[in-house]
Structure 1
Amino acid sequence: MLRITLRDGEKAIVNGAVIRAVGRTQIAIENKVSILRGSEIMRPEEATTPARQLYFAAMLAYIDPASRDSHHEAVVGLVGALIAALGTAEAKAACIRFAGEIAQGEYYKALGSAREVIAFEDAVVAQQAA
């Protein structure tokens, strides 16, 4: 059993359904579900860079299994471009780890790796701006 606590107004996605807490809410999940809490949810307008688009595509693959094949196509194209664009071995390793997790169907775990890729991309952008 998985227990999560949502703050008042916090949103979560459970098997594709968006839920919003009214008051502080505790939810007990008793079977296997795809669940994302508020901070893990990315809106389409937030997918403004290749790494964020990668996260968004992986998130959709996780919460929208009916359209998973089309989301996979987006993921494959983006991960290849990011491996080529991000210069460090650590960044490339994060991309490869992400791709492996997606290939194994570990979508939630892949979102964590995608957040690492976003951090590497942010560092490259900051370095180029300096």
Structure 2
Amino acid sequence: MLRITLRDGEKAIVNGAVLRAVGRTQIAVENQVSILRGREVMQPEEATTTARQLYFSTMLAYIDPAGRAGHQDAIIRSIGTLVTVMAAPEARAACLAFAHDVAQGDYYKALAAARELIAFETAALDSVQAA
């Protein structure tokens, strides 16, 4: 059983349905479902870089199993680009972890690796802008 706590007004997606907490809410999930809490949800306008597009496509593949094939095409394009441009060994390791998780069908776990890739990408872009 999985227990999640939502703050007043916080949103969560459960199997594609958007839920919003009214007051502090605890939910006990007793079977296998796809859940994203509000802070894990990325809006389309936030997918402004390759790593963010990867996260967004992975998020959609996780919550939209019916459209997963189309989302996987976008995932493959994005991870291919990131593998090509990321030189740091840690970033390449995150790419491999991400690819492994997606290959295993563990999209939720892949989202954690995608967040790492966003951090690597942000650091790289910041260092280029600072130069």
| TM-score in terms of structure 1 length | 0.99
RMSD in angstroms over aligned alpha carbons?
0.5
Q: Name the residue aligned to 1:123.
A: 123
The amino acid that maps onto 1:25 is T
Q: Name the residue aligned to 1:90.
A: 90
Residues in 1 aligned to 2:12 and 2:127: alpha-carbon distance in whole angstroms: 34
Q: Name the residue aligned to 1:60.
A: 60
Gaps of 5+ in 1: none
The amino acid that maps onto 1:49 is T
2:26 equivalent to 1:22 = no
The amino acid that maps onto 1:117 is L
Q: Name the residue aligned to 2:69.
A: 69
The residue correspondences of 1:35-46 to structure 2 (distance < 5 A) are 35-46=35-46
The amino acid that maps onto 1:52 is R
Q: Name the residue aligned to 2:34.
A: 34
Gaps of 5+ in 2: none
Q: Name the residue aligned to 1:106.
A: 106
The amino acid that maps onto 2:105 is G
The amino acid that maps onto 1:65 is P
The alignment partner of 1:19 has SS state of: strand
| TM-score in terms of structure 2 length | 0.98
Residues in 2 aligned to 1:12 and 1:60: alpha-carbon distance in whole angstroms: 14
- After TM superposition, the runs of 4+ consecutive aligned structure 1 residues lying more than 3 A away are none
Q: Name the residue aligned to 1:50.
A: 50
The amino acid that maps onto 2:12 is A
- Quote the offset at 1:97 in angstroms: 0.9
The alignment partner of 2:87 has SS state of: coil
Residues in 2 aligned to 1:104 and 1:7: alpha-carbon distance in whole angstroms: 32
| Aligned pairs, number | 130
- % identical aligned pairs: 66
Q: Name the residue aligned to 1:2.
A: 2
